[in-house]
Structure 1
Amino acid sequence: MISIGIILFPGFQALSLATGTVFEYANLEVERQVYRVDLISEHGGPVSSSLGFAVQTRPFGSERYDTLLVVGDNDLAVGSVGLIDYLRRAPDFARRVASACTGSFHLAAAGLLDGRRATTHWYHAREFKQRYPQVPLDEDRIFTLDGPIWTSAGMTASIDLALALVEQDLGVEVTRQVARSLVVYHRRAGGQSQFSALLELDPKSDRIQTALAFARQNLRQPLSVEQLAQAAHLSPRQFSRLFRAETGQSPAKAIEHLRLEAARLMMESGWHSIDIVARDTGFADPERMRRAFLRAYGQPPQVIRRSLQLQS
């Protein structure tokens, strides 16, 4: 049996408990108890969550775990001496040590992330880098794996991390079925961005939102300003002026970002050739896509693909 210890502390983020559900459904999928999940804390007993309800826990002890996962919180609370000491010793009695969301701050405080790649919630990335400059932070990643240490980005990304742990233990088919049961996307690749191009653009008006939604659904088309303006029910001149005012970008640059995001997702989720990715995301030809990747990421698509495959 694979033992999972989920470490809680006062004020822990309630959504972090969803990681335990992934292991629960893995047991249901294989119709036997592969995983045993313990909720543990420094002193045991009831531990209050960010929503105010309390969860019963077992105290830290001498028990060995296959995987220890420390959760995060909303306020970046400094971990207690007992919590940090327990995490510092964790590699001695756990095969894998992981964090959900801002739990990475506790792993870093325990010295477990020194010199290792890690991630955390994007909102707290700057604070993390200030506190722990010795940790190479991948601030735009869903989750990272460096040796026996796993870290996830914020909130629902901890579910992706838990699915990745199950995939390592039980294989991709079990993980796919667990994801379907939970009605979540079959594990997002670790290298996938925490951000969405549409969220970054943050259009305010319904007309610009409608135009961007039209663009995302029709990336294979040339998508001229005239087409986008028609979708927004504006003249091309009005559309271009309003689009830049709301997003800070030209329509052409925004569409390129949408194409880049779609191309990365295609490379993460399958083995499509570069030619097919370029065609299906509207770049028209691989060379045009290569130039866009170099502008955005400083690397060509082939290098990005190899990196994503290594991280997933």
Structure 2
Amino acid sequence: MNMHVISRPISISSFRVLLVILLQLATTSDSSLDSFIYVGCSQISYAPGTAFESNVNSILSSILNSAAVSNYNNFKISNPGAGAGDTVYGLFQCRGDLSTSDCHDCVSNGVTRLGASCVGSTGGALQFDGCYLRYDNASFLGVEDKTVASDKCGPIGDESDLLTRRDSVLDFLKSGGQFFRVSGSGKIQGLAQCVQDLSVDECQDCLSEAIQRLRSECGSSAWGDMFLGKCYARYSERGYTSKHENGDDVEKTLAIFIGLVAAVAILIVFLSFFSKLFDSKGGK
């Protein structure tokens, strides 16, 4: 009895496309430098087509251009012919361990997001995982700001020594004298950073407030973020970037999905090969 396996063979190019798509999904599932943390916009609006709008656009352009060569800069822009109330102040800062290229990419996405979120607003601030941007019609440069902008705490940790390690990390972050600080103890890692328009003493005061709030509000949580107006402090079991508590479930589900699809694709290629082999031998 002759048996013919009838199937449509999958091409190698199609298989490669499938793998590329899956790899892209796997990559984008991880937290990236432009992971959104918060955005805030002034409730005061400006009229379109005014000198102030031109100055806002100039600030955002200056921020983007400067990020190509630096990880921090601040600006004061008042174009010729503009009134005293049309002056715009702005700054950007990237995380202290970023390369200039990564900084520019983060700021580029930040400028786009901030411009779209705060259309017509006289001020706006945006924090990504890797960079911070702000502009306003009132000068904020060199002014300490300990207002809570965003605070999040993860689930309670499983390990008995989590609190001890967390406190060790936060103590080191509090004692450092740099604008960007990192620390680690076992699985717990942390970082802290001030905006560089502050003085060293102002930075220390801001971080002391952020770290105190982390201790009191996040307790024995596995991770915690405390972002104030001009500084932040973070700790996590997963490194510098905190993830939502269901992040592991998402990654596991994606890994299983990729494995199943890859197995099916290999099976199709295997059956296609034997189909051609049977056909070439007359189905014997």
The answer, yes or no, to whether TM exceeds 0.5 is no
Q: Which has the higher contact order (CA 8 A, sep 6+)?
A: 2
More strand by share: 2
Q: Which structure has the larger Rg over C-alpha atoms?
A: 2
Task: Specify the TM-score bucket, using the shorter chain as the normaliser.
Answer: under 0.3
Q: TM-score, normalised by structure 1?
A: 0.24
